[in-house]
Amino acid sequence: MKTYLITGGAGFIGSTLSERILKDGNRVIAIDSFNDFYDYRIKLNNVLEANKKSLDFSSDLKDENVKALKNLVDSENYKLEYVDIRDLKELERIFKENKIDTVIHLAGLGGVRPSIEDPLLYEEVNVRGTNNIFEVMRRTGVKKILAASSSSVYGNNESVPFKETDIVDFAISPYAASKKANEVLAHTYHHLFNIDVVMLRFFTVFGPRQRPDLAIYKFTKLIDEGKEIPFFGDGSTSRDYTYVDDIVKGVMLLANYVENNSNVYEISNIGGSDPVSLKEMVEVIEEVLGKEAKINRLPMQPGDVNRTYADLTKIKNLVGYEADNTFKEGIEKFVKWYFEKVKK
């Protein structure tokens, strides 16, 4: 049995990954601050679902609710740590108390637009927080980590599809800059302290438990309710959407790789490799919902990239990864979840 420490374990990707690790018979230590970037109660539910448990929260207070959750879910195979990754002391306590095989570091602030509103916070959480994780690994001798980067590091890369060998020195948002900084920090700790690292460049992830601030969730809700959707630009911007189970599949294949090899520093795209334009994205949601969208045309937003498109040659060669879900199949699963769990 292996022990995975997952930061951001109550989030969208972290809870889906936890569920898979538990299903495989391994152990999870989940660190999360349950921050209010979006409603923290969604994250309480994510943890419950990952552990196949349910609980009616009676309190209005976050601290009490997280405590009640922890009492319910903590077990031999799962441990919840209500901790902020900016708190080095608490991280050190957790790393000393547990025998950790592999760290999967997903905690952080997502989102390009909010990062433009508050660049210093993104630096504080995403860069200092990530540095803390590497530092505590150095101090306690944990040697294997996979950490979330992002396709945003490619900025407005001219050549497509985006390859890991492309130069990514031209970030166009504080969020992207923080993720690029993480890749550089990770290399430093690898070089100096023999930490084996895979940096994960996720391409727009979607699916059940998706963050409500992201387009697919927002559009599904608004179209279903007959409300206008904000439509930025002429609809030709495109994204390489990746269904969350495919992200989990890629992360676990790469985890296996980092666990079974030494002297590893790799950066890997994980995508669907089938870019979909904004216009097509809306059409697919309309088709699956059986409802027509009301469109509110708005200018392109600063910081948004024109397109993302993952070259998957590297991850294919390294670990045999291929995405299993088409965009439409993913949307069908997302919409099913939305009606079963959110709308009810």
Q: Which residues are catalytic?
A: 175
- Applying CB under 6 A, among 48, 69, 94, 106 the residue interacting with ligand NAD is 106
Q: Is 13 a residue that touches ligand NAD (CB under 6 A)?
A: yes
Which single residue is written with the structure tokens 């998957």?
312
- Give 216 or 223: the residue with its C-beta nearer to ligand NAD: 216
Task: Pick the stretch among 8-16, 53-61, 257-265, 332-340 that binds ligand NAD (CB under 6 A).
Answer: 8-16
How far apart (Å, rounded) are the C-alpha atoms in residues 56 and 198? 38
Among residues 4, 5, 6, 12, the one that binds ligand NAD under rule CB under 6 A = 12
Residue 10 or 48: which CB sits closer to ligand NAD?
A: 10
Q: What does DSSP assign to residue 26?
A: -
Alpha helices in 213-277 (DSSP H): 215-224, 244-259
| Residue 180 lies near ligand NAD (rule: CB under 6 A) | no
The 187-226 contact track toward ligand NAD, x by CB under 6 A, reads ---------------x-xx-----x---------------
- Minimum CB separation of residue 262 from ligand NAD in Å reads 26
Nearest approach, Cβ of residue 340 and ligand NAD (Å): 19
- Tell me which stretch binds ligand NAD (CB under 6 A): 7-15, 52-60, 279-287, 336-344: 7-15
> What gap in Å lies between CA 218 and CA 239, rounded to an integer?
16
3-class DSSP assignment, residue 340: helix
Stretch that binds ligand NAD, among 35-43, 268-276, 314-322, 326-334 (CB under 6 A): 35-43
User: Can residue 17 be called a binding residue for ligand NAD (CB under 6 A)?
Assistant: no
Contact 152, 113 (CB under 8 A): no
Min. distance of Cβ 35 from ligand NAD in angstroms? 4
User: 62: which residues sit within 8 A by CB, 6+ positions away?
Assistant: 34, 40
Cα maximum dimension of the chain: 56
Question: Site for ligand NAD (CB under 6 A): which residue of 28, 66, 80, 85?
Answer: 85
The verdict on whether omega for the bond into residue 302 sits within 30 degrees of 0, i.e. cis, is no
Q: Which is nearer to ligand NAD, 148 or 284 (CB)?
A: 148
174 binding ligand NAD? (CB under 6 A):
no
**CA 90, CA 81: separation in Å to the nearest integer?**
9
Element (H, E) at 267: strand 265-270
State the Cα angle at 340 between 277 and 13, rounded to 5°: 55
Tell me which residue has tokens 């601290």: 63
Cα–Cα dist 133/139, whole Å: 10
SS3 293: coil
The contact set with ligand NAD (CB under 6 A) reads 8, 10-14, 31-35, 37, 43, 84-86, 106-110, 125, 129, 148, 150, 202, 204-205, 211
